[in-house]
Structure 1
Amino acid sequence: MLITHTSQEFKYDNLITFKTSGDVQIVQQTITTNSKVIVETAAGIILSFKADTFFPLYMDVLHVEKGNHTYMEVANFTSAFNKYVSIVVPTSSFFSSINNTQNAEGYMIVQNNLVQSGLGSTQEMYNYQSSEGCYVRTVSVSNYTLLSDFEDNLCDKID
């Protein structure tokens, strides 16, 4: 006979703040999930599975009136995906961890409802680790130009 125990938790938080008569807008959001599965027999646990995820998001936008039907919008954005998984059976175990973060910032100048100019940049950091190895990559881009692209998978296997 097999007995299976499961649990799952989901949490969501969202906060939107307006300052300076709406010229500053800030969004802060997080989503968290936790899942567990345990399978057992009369002899004991034969499988244990756990997965945790975390999704933070942050954005702020600033609106600046410049006169002459002209304004500037400045924005900063950060989001991430983080996940940790572990699996344990009587003869072995496995884990994996993913951390992926993206940061972006930019601005644009608008006159008479037409975009006159703007600049933007993005940085993304990806980090994967597991019982089997790892992989890391970081990329930076600004105004259609690749500034850097680094990757590495030189890590020791974890037993």
Structure 2
Amino acid sequence: MSWLRRQRVALTALMFSAIAVAGVYLWLDIGPVAEAESVTITEAVDGTAEVAGQELTLESARWDEFPAPNGARIVSVRLTASGGPDSTMCGQVTLTEVHGSRTWLDAGDLVDVPYEEGESYCLEESAPYDIISVFAVPDDAAGPFYLDIAGEDDVVTRFLVEP
């Protein structure tokens, strides 16, 4: 009996395992990248854009409005939202360097922002309201930044922020 015949069960299992590993790699590593590339970015015009069924307007962006942790600075971005019966919740809000690759998530939990300052995300079916997004960025981050707000149907709205 040849070696190949004696090892046919093991070789068959090895072949199926290699196919399974390749499938898992495609599913976990290649698939999300392809989905991320399908996102459409729309730029806000004159600081105003339609996001999640409501109009958002960039009001201000300020440095160090709130106390920052050691080694960081706070960028606070204020928007007004029109609300309305067609408004829905928006997705994740991020701050990204225009001339760099660093991105930060909202740090409202890290920084003590008073409740009356505004909401931290878009509200569903509401009256007009204010949104405040607070980001803890390293001391060396100087701006300008992009404020990206995920909306519906893989559309991200981008505001240019210069604190």
TM-score band, normalised by shorter chain: under 0.3
**TM-score normalized by structure 2?**
0.21
* More strand by percentage: 1
* More helix by percentage: 2
